[in-house]
Structure 1
Amino acid sequence: MTRVYHGSDHIIQYPQYLGGKKDNDYGNGFYTTEYEDRARSWARLNGTPEKAIVNVYDLQIDKLNIVDLNEQGVLAWIAEVVSNRGISEENAAIVGERLVELYKPDTTQADIIKGYRADDSYTQVIEAFLLNQINLYEVERLFYKGSLGNQIFLKSEKAFEKIRWIESYMATLTKEDKENDMYVRREVSKFLGERMKAILLDGFQVPGITARYAIQNKLRYQGDGTYDHTSIR
């Protein structure tokens, strides 16, 4: 049994299968997390100061088919998010489509998907990668910096049968929590801005695994945070 949390603007005792939106990180389903502090933050983000609710559940995950994107590498995670959320910038979208073709994992039989959460303000990081402005390591570092945390996504009807509501409570964030979150977001935006300036004015060339390199060389994830750079095309 796993204790999970969902931040919202209302109490959700009975999560509804296919009751969400298709253009979220992993598609239409129910998003939870094992990190209670993250659920409080998401509740404040998705709700209002008067209606920010953390819903608490027990989730029975044994005998469920789980796709853990953390075990498949950052490229698989980016491809999964891009395939569901889409990309508005035209050039980034072109690269994103190719990345999806090469690296999106098969989640058709998944009951649950685990992986990072990419809220709206952090999609700029993915877009910067697709535009070859940052490398794969920097994508991962920026998401760790934001402490967005892992999410557990209920995808199948079978998964929805395994979740049980325990309680709900009003979410509160301290002034320090808010300031830390704003600081990290500013730091991420500042880093991306400085990188663009270096590329445009100084001719800086991004080292490491960029999106261009990843689509020119189909890479194998080694399972330890690294990729095999040998082309298997």
Structure 2
Amino acid sequence: MWSGPRTLSTALLRAWENRPDTVVVDEPLYAFYLAATGLDHPGRDEVIASQPADWRTVLRALARDPLPPGASIYYQKHMTHHLLPSVDRSALAPLRHAFLIRDPRWLLASYALVRAAPALDDLGLRQQAEIFEGFGGPVIDSADLLAAPEAALRALCAALGVPFIAAMLSWPPGPRDSDGVWAPYWYDSVRRSTGFVPVAAAAEPPALPPALHPLLEQCLPYYERIRKYKLNF
């Protein structure tokens, strides 16, 4: 599942992890991304120590690791901006791809709360469009997921050819063993959550500060390239 930051990606991870037939992995390319870019994210050293920092090692394991008894689905939560140009895109071919998108106006309003001056590469929309156009796969919009969680999850499961399970709609609060070591810095709200909180799909996004308008104009074409393929239900 390819998504950018601030897109409900961790809540969707919770939904899949709550299935009895699914195991999950949380942002397995994060250590590679930090080591390669030198960026100073919260918990940087912990993240790099917690995962392989070679993308080749990561992708080989994701495509070949055997599932434990009773599991038939391996759900991988990926951040699109972790897919740096040095990653050979053909290494993604053994995986099946799906996409979680969000209107950049909502995305930027949320992201600006934690980082005042984001850049296009921080958000991963360009990479998301590239992966979609290279491999295809079902697309779900976070606004639809919030407006009608059950219908959205049913549509996603149907598109992936797996049965919908009602357990995906709610989960117990608190941390998970599967959470990345960065969870204490980023997952406060999802750790308090017990499910998706429905929000009207027609809700207007908040006004953005003028300084973010040029970035919004960069983001919108990538979002629109994928949005026209989103699941409708």
Q: Which has the higher contact order (CA 8 A, sep 6+)?
A: 2
Which structure has more helix as a fraction of its residues? 2
In the superposition, the TM-score normalised over structure 2's length comes to: 0.26
In the superposition, the TM-score normalised over structure 1's length comes to: 0.26
Which structure has more strand as a fraction of its residues? 1
Rg comparison, structure with higher value:
1
